[in-house]
Structure 1
Amino acid sequence: MAVSTPVAANDRASASRWFTPSDKLFHGLTLAAALLVLVLLGGVIVALIEGAWPAFAKFGLGFLVTESWNPVTEKFGALAPIYGTLVTSFIAMLIGVPISIGIAIFLTEICPMWLRRPIGIAIELLAGIPSIIYGIWGLFVFAPFMQQHVQPALIAIFGHIPLLSDLFSGPPYGIGILTSSLILAIMVLPFITAITRDVFETVPPVLKEAAYGLGCTTWEVARNVMLPYTRVGVVGGIMLGLGRALGETMAVTFVIGNAHHINASILGPGTTISATIANEFTEAVGDMYTSSLVALGFILFVITFIVLAAARIMLLRMNVKGG
């Protein structure tokens, strides 16, 4: 058993006194940084509420359930942008999440070593492309392709099927909700893939080797070992992608059509909260017009907060279920 001598005790006390000022300084700086985040968040919330209050005071809850958007008569409703935001984000995640997880599994378990780095670099490059580039590409390349090939095929296939006929009806404009959703799926794919790949690489090799030794296939290892072990990181990556999908502005503005009405068909034009703000904020004349646009921003903030809170609750339940 080691015995603490008076000299050693004096050395530790001297070191403690020596590092105490720097520790206090470091503690103060980190505390200030943390409080700064809360102050900035609180300032954003206060500014949004203050700017949106005239619109909510005039229209009340009807602002959330009204489709009309008429700057001339100053009658505004947020239902169409809310609908467009939720639908485009849902379709984008429905397409992007399975593909992203599949790419991550391929890179960590199946991909040859000589091909792993080029694919990883390509994914990182996709994440670094500005959104306006996606929008220009979507408008001049992807939308014409959708108009000439994809949308006519969807109308021909689903046009005579009940329920689906309404979802894939109307003329093939090229632009619209489906086109913007596909663009969003491409944009969120590199973020989800990169994070999922990184957390998959943290799985201890012994766990995967044990599963393979029992005769499990790659899919069974991914489903029963990798995904349960990394569920927190995977959900975090998905939430990051969803956050970008909900708040994406320029790319969606180029290809969604910017129509303030709800269309049952996902091939038709629509709008989102971000696209509406980007299109009309510089042209907003009058306090009520400006307040309505700020109210849209506040609604988007609330939607994002609800999504993140739901994700945290889901993670807590997953952790409780997993013990």
Structure 2
Amino acid sequence: MPPSSDGPANHRAGSAVTAPSPLHDGPAKLAGRKRFGGETIFKFLSTGSGVFVLVLIIAIAAFLIAKAIPALQANEANFFTFEGWYPDDVEHPKFGIGALVIGTLITAIIALALAVPVALGIALCLSHYAPKRVATTLGFVIDLLAAVPSIIFGLWGLAYLVEPVRALSAWLHRYFGWIPIFGSEGPYGKSLLLGGLVLAIMILPIITALSREVFSQTPKMNEEAALALGATKWEMIRTAVLPYGRPGLIASVMLGLGRALGETIALAMTLGASFVISFDVIEVGGNTIAANIANRFGEAGEIGRGALIASGLVLFAITLVVNVSARAIIFRRREFREAL
């Protein structure tokens, strides 16, 4: 007998044909799912988070300005050029951030000059030279440096680096004393050079990690094309890897600079806490905005706290400019990658 039209096969086929499909949902049902679904909730939460960050930054800036205005009005000296810090003088409060800004910038520049070449070499080694297992292990060890508290770096620098830096300072003055930044005849020890060296070790894992990720994302076809044209390993890195990763490298350097500008405890322990505008990096002394706040906030009076907050406002502006610049460079890097 011929198979019945009501057999199991025809029943399954009919069920498959008549099964409801999301593609056949009505416009009203799709609109309702889009309106009340997870996509809308995620969009609301992400947008709210972005707005919250902007509101938080504005609130911090407003707080700093409001607290700093009374001290700035009471200040009888030039806030940007005066070399001294006497905000709690009852009759003549005077304070200035000239020496603090110079010390902050010099220590950050020293840190970048020492850390960037080392970080660049480590990043290239981990991404293109070392075996995968070795690169993973070394990368993990380097990343651990970022988790070390800054006070540990300060104690370590104070205990083990003062004497080597003192000897290095004497050597630099003996052979390069004709350069103004090495002109001091002593005494040596807690100086901008020591603070910059400690900062260099602290920002090294940040620059290394970001640079390593950028270099490892270089398109393989670019590297293979350079090698196919007869380039050596170094020539391939110079012509294919470094140009591709340059925006990301600059962004990582600027993020490290932001960390160096805001470091507090380590510099408070390794600088001489002076208020003299000087570009000599080996003489005892030096101070930064963050270190000065840490050292003086506990014993400051009302005007003194306002003066410290005013200096913090300047540091806030400097770090904001650095971070915005870094973000702009990262955006340029994204455009560069999309154009490939």
- TM superposition score normalised by structure 1: 0.88
Question: Which of residues 10, 18, 27 is equivalent to 2:24?
Answer: 10
Question: Which of residues 244, 250, 257 is equivalent to 1:235?
Answer: 250
Whether the 8 Å contact between 1:89 and 1:181 is mirrored in structure 2 is yes
Whether the 8 Å contact between 2:95 and 2:307 is mirrored in structure 1 is yes
Q: CA deviation at 1:60?
A: 8.4
Q: CA deviation at 1:167?
A: 2.6
1:77 aligns with 2:92: no
2:146 alignment counterpart? 127
- Cα separation, 2, equivalents of 1:44 and 1:305: 12
Q: Which moved more, 1:65-74 or 1:104-113?
A: 65-74
1:89 alignment counterpart? 108
2:194 alignment counterpart? 179
Q: Which amino acid aligns with 1:237?
A: S
Question: Which of residues 103, 121, 146 is equivalent to 1:102?
Answer: 121
1:38 alignment counterpart? 54
Q: CA deviation at 1:277?
A: 0.3
1:215 aligns with 2:230: yes
Name the % identity.
37
- Cα separation, 2, equivalents of 1:166 and 1:190: 28
Kindly provide the CA deviation profile for residues 44-98 of structure 1, in whole angstroms up to 9, marking residues without a partner as x: 0100100111233344892011112124352101101111001111111122112
Q: CA deviation at 1:144?
A: 2.1
Distance 1:321 1:59, change over 3 A: farther
Instruction: Write out aligned runs for 1:111-126 (5 A).
Output: 111-126=130-145
Whether the 8 Å contact between 1:170 and 1:265 is mirrored in structure 2 is no
Question: Which of residues 151, 156, 170 is equivalent to 2:169?
Answer: 151
- Cα separation, 1, equivalents of 2:76 and 2:40: 50
Kindly provide the CA deviation profile for residues 205-239 of structure 1, in whole angstroms up to 9, marking residues without a partner as x: 12111112222233332332222222332222112
- Cα separation, 1, equivalents of 2:251 and 2:122: 17
- Cα separation, 2, equivalents of 1:177 and 1:130: 21
Instruction: Please tell me the root mean square deviation across aligned C-alpha atoms, in Å.
Output: 2.6
Whether the 8 Å contact between 1:151 and 1:267 is mirrored in structure 2 is yes
Distance 1:117 1:234, change over 3 A: same
Q: Which moved more, 1:267-276 or 1:212-221?
A: 212-221
Q: CA deviation at 1:242?
A: 0.7
Q: Which amino acid aligns with 1:304?
A: T
Structure 1 unmatched runs, 5+: 1-5
SS of the aligned residue for 1:129 comes to: coil
- Cα separation, 2, equivalents of 1:272 and 1:19: 53
Distance 1:313 1:174, change over 3 A: same
Kindly provide the CA deviation profile for residues 160-208 of structure 1, in whole angstroms up to 9, marking residues without a partner as x: xx3x155342314221100100111111111000011011111121211
SS of the aligned residue for 2:25 comes to: helix
Q: How many residues align?
A: 313
1:3 alignment counterpart? none
1:48 aligns with 2:64: yes
Q: CA deviation at 1:312?
A: 5.3
SS of the aligned residue for 1:63 comes to: coil
Whether the 8 Å contact between 1:176 and 1:256 is mirrored in structure 2 is yes
- Cα separation, 2, equivalents of 1:152 and 1:74: 38
- Cα separation, 2, equivalents of 1:124 and 1:273: 27
SS of the aligned residue for 2:297 comes to: helix
Instruction: Write out aligned runs for 1:187-202 (5 A).
Output: 187-202=202-217
- TM superposition score normalised by structure 2: 0.84
SS of the aligned residue for 1:140 comes to: helix
Whether the 8 Å contact between 2:248 and 2:329 is mirrored in structure 1 is no
- Cα separation, 1, equivalents of 2:182 and 2:66: 39
Q: Which moved more, 1:28-37 or 1:184-193?
A: 28-37
1:294 aligns with 2:309: yes
Q: CA deviation at 1:311?
A: 4.3
Q: CA deviation at 1:15?
A: 4.9
